[in-house]
Structure 1
Amino acid sequence: MNIDKNRLDRYLKGESTPEEQQLIEAWYAQLGADSSLDEKKVDRISMRLDQRMQNEGLLTEIPVKKLSTRKSLRFWYASAAAAALLVFGIYFFSQKHESNTQKDLLADIKAPQGTNAVIVLGDQREVELDKLKNGDTIHADGYQVFRNEHGEITYKVASATGQPVYNTVRTKAGGMTSVQLADGSRVWVNSNSELKYPISFAKHQREVSLNGEAYFEVEKDATRPFYVKSREHTVKVLGTRFNVQNYDNEYKSTLLEGKIALTNKATALGEEVDLEFPVQLRPNQSYDGNRIIFEEDANRAIDWKEGYFDFSNTTLELAAVKLSNWYDVKIKVAGALKNRRIYAQIDRQRSLKDVLETINTVIPIKYEWNNNEVLITNLK
């Protein structure tokens, strides 16, 4: 192992980094009595090593007569070897400590508590839902917002207004909340999502817009169809239970009960819908924007609502996306491991470390904390 002269000079001046010190001291431990290194530099390195070991209580001062260069090298080789043992002992302890610290960090990433959500009122006021206790009331212009005994957002409208008034529920990573709409329909909003809706519906149609993911239980009303509007799709509903996933570059509607119709055309809130809906779903079917897919169990689509991760026949890459949304941690999967499929159902209230350890029992993986993100690689 060769040492760069500039790095060596910084060491002799006491200006090197801890990592450079370790490198130089490990290198010095490899020197032999026949080293051709300049004698003065060897002596200076020896003095620095000796001083460091004395400071750390590993060497006592012993009166020594002036030694020849060879004897000096041999003597300081032993001294440096001891220093190297110290250095590498610290290094391996640090590596082990770092590994344990990484696991401790992941263990400290607990499942989120509370809703981690805000409600944006018609006047653009934002209220953190976690600051509202059950039974609390928000007073707005012409209406009131409550949190009922189940923690669900509900409304009381004093009188009809000429123009529609929209509220928005916005969840953060690890967030989830539910809303009871004006017609009694209920919506559960998943992490990193936004649901916008009127506080009262028009006479001819009901409508909401969604970015992210939500589960709907829509009240039947044959005279007023219910529409879920998003960037590239519109869902038409009469009365049914279904889930819509509408994150960036990812769309999927899954029907649990009833019947829904879809189109790959977007409509905006306040806009009357006059479209054909060529795609129709029956229970246990989903639509990804291109094709209809049969689902063995459509309830898997609402695992998040029921409090667990359903990773049955799920790619590790998709599992990482779900974990990232929930724990608010960027998780990357390396290489071909992205397409490996796992089969597991895991409680969402467990720490991130526990979840990764459970996955590790299915697919042997290595995971490490690196630059504020988790990297999952093959276990070699």
Structure 2
Amino acid sequence: MKEAFEIARIIQKSLKGKLSESEEKLLSDWRKVSEENEHAFQRMISEDFYTVGMEKLETYDYRVAYGRFLQKKYQRRRKRRFLISMARVAAVALPFVMAVVLYVGLNREEEQTLRPSLASNILPGTSKAVLTLANGQMIPLGKETTDSTIITDGTQISASGSGITYADGGESEAVVYNKLDIPRGGEFCLTLSDGTRVWLNSETSIQYPVVFGTKERRVFIQGEAYFEVAKDAKKPFTVQFMSSSVTVLGTSFNIRAYPEEKQSQTTLAEGSVRIYSPGSSMLLKPGEQAEVKALSGEMVKKEVEVKTFTSWKDGRFVFEQEPLENIMRTLERWYDIRVIFRDEGAKRISLSGNLKRYGDFSQVMNMLQMTGDVRFELHGNDVYITTE
């Protein structure tokens, strides 16, 4: 039991990015012992673990439960099979132990202060977009619109609440472009005429041909998008963004290119891509990422955990020792909020977590505040952040 509390304490510290070398090794070794331990760790850093655990702890007398646990342990201490069963129980019980540690370590007064401020119930984004045709006509799309069929420039477009699909129109000498804009608090899916699928994140725009030309497939994006490119050995697929471009034949990758971030990130999930920047190029393999500075064009390649950068399309936000400023910038777009840092030092606090993308904002704030280093106040859609 002592070890369980120690591991729980270390995991809590890891969420703040404050582990010593010995603690990092202890946590790493513990995670490698078994699949159950790794599963428990992932469960502990997920946002729903904390919100559900807090609710349970408010009505559960853990001291009585622990007394029963000790009684059973005493009664069965001479039975060899007890050791085996306890190993299994520990893997299941540890998340609850973690919740106890976090709960008793919190300042009750601050917890009560947080809840009323979160009553505004800020909801997550939904499927919505605006399609602009070649003639300038703008068509709202999304969850609140009805399914429809649009005919433009001889091509059929099928629109649903979550995406649009362009019919295969073969090839065209004259390339005609459409544009899709996803606002803050939105997301949308696009299937191009060649079968390529594109997931578009909040505050993103993409310009693309209604039907691709005879020599290449080229699209332009600003924001964040995940591509699953249909294979065509005769026509490479090129994504142009900021001062860079990515060329592929058929593969899956994520591009994040928001102008205000002053750099772009291309993360490869499958296949291979070549990224071009003024004066240089770089080939990426699965699990690698290229970061390009917008002004200088300088490129840096590194190995990354792909899901950290692509999980948004699967309904999760995954952060690994990410500065709070970057985390809040992502949440600003998705929840359509405004974040104000009252303490500049709070921007540099590094946090880890695995959050439900479709949970309401109060759940996310509860998890982030549980690190003990930051405090959140909500006034309407404005979020004020200070250090503890």
TM-score range, shorter chain: 0.5 to 0.7
8 Å contact from structure 2 (residues 169, 193) kept in 1: no
The answer to whether 1:355 aligns with 2:349 is no
Question: Which of residues 311, 315, 321 is equivalent to 1:307?
Answer: 315
The residue type paired with residue 358 of structure 1 is M
Structure 2: distance between partners of 1:143 and 1:326: 32
The residue type paired with residue 117 of structure 2 is Q
SS at match of 1:283: coil
The answer to whether 1:286 aligns with 2:299 is no
Relative distance call for 1:99 and 1:296 in structure 2 (3 A) is closer
1:372 Cα shift? 5.2
SS at match of 1:313: strand
1:180 Cα shift? 0.9
1:126 Cα shift? 1.1
Aligned match of 1:191:
202
The structure that is helix-richer by fraction is: 2
Question: Which of residues 175, 192, 208 is equivalent to 1:181?
Answer: 192
Structure 1: distance between partners of 2:306 and 2:246: 17
SS at match of 1:239: coil
Larger Rg: 1
Map 1:137-216 to 2 at 5 A: 137-147=149-159, 151-156=162-167, 162-216=173-227
1:208 Cα shift? 0.2
Question: Which of residues 141, 146, 167 is equivalent to 1:133?
Answer: 146
Relative distance call for 1:378 and 1:213 in structure 2 (3 A) is same
Question: Which of residues 342, 355, 361 is equivalent to 2:351?
Answer: 342
Question: Which of residues 358, 373, 379 is equivalent to 2:382?
Answer: 373
Aligned match of 2:234:
223
1:363 Cα shift? 4.0
Structure 1: distance between partners of 2:196 and 2:218: 11
SS at match of 2:136: coil
Residue deviations 1:328-356 (CA, integer Å, cap 9, x gap) = 11113322221111111010111112101
The structure that is strand-richer by fraction is: 2
1:231 Cα shift? 2.4
8 Å contact from structure 1 (residues 320, 332) kept in 2: no
Relative distance call for 1:368 and 1:342 in structure 2 (3 A) is same
8 Å contact from structure 2 (residues 123, 360) kept in 1: yes
1:370 Cα shift? 5.0
Relative distance call for 1:241 and 1:363 in structure 2 (3 A) is farther
> What percentage of residue pairs aligned between the two structures are identical?
29
Length, aligned pairs only: 269
The residue type paired with residue 199 of structure 2 is W
Q: Which runs of 4+ in 1 moved over 6 A?
A: 96-99, 157-160
Relative distance call for 1:291 and 1:140 in structure 2 (3 A) is closer
Structure 1: distance between partners of 2:299 and 2:169: 45
The residue type paired with residue 143 of structure 1 is T
1:116 Cα shift? 2.2
SS at match of 1:219: coil
1:118 Cα shift? 1.0
Residue deviations 1:84-134 (CA, integer Å, cap 9, x gap) = xxxxxxxxxxxx9997653212xx111123x12111111111111125434
Structure 1: distance between partners of 2:184 and 2:372: 26
8 Å contact from structure 1 (residues 142, 157) kept in 2: no
SS at match of 1:173: coil
Aligned match of 2:339:
331
The residue type paired with residue 221 of structure 1 is D
Aligned match of 1:102:
117
Question: Which of residues 119, 130, 144 is equivalent to 1:118?
Answer: 130
Greater relative CO, 1 or 2 (CA 8 Å, sep 6+)? 2
Structure 2: state its 5+ residue gaps. Answer: 1-110, 293-297
Relative distance call for 1:127 and 1:213 in structure 2 (3 A) is same
SS at match of 2:212: coil
The residue type paired with residue 339 of structure 2 is I
SS at match of 1:235: strand
Question: Which of residues 306, 310, 322 is equivalent to 1:298?
Answer: 306
Which range moves more in the overlay, 321-330 or 137-146?
137-146
TM-score by structure 2 length?
0.64
Structure 1: distance between partners of 2:170 and 2:327: 46
1:143 Cα shift? 1.9
Structure 2: distance between partners of 1:99 and 1:220: 51
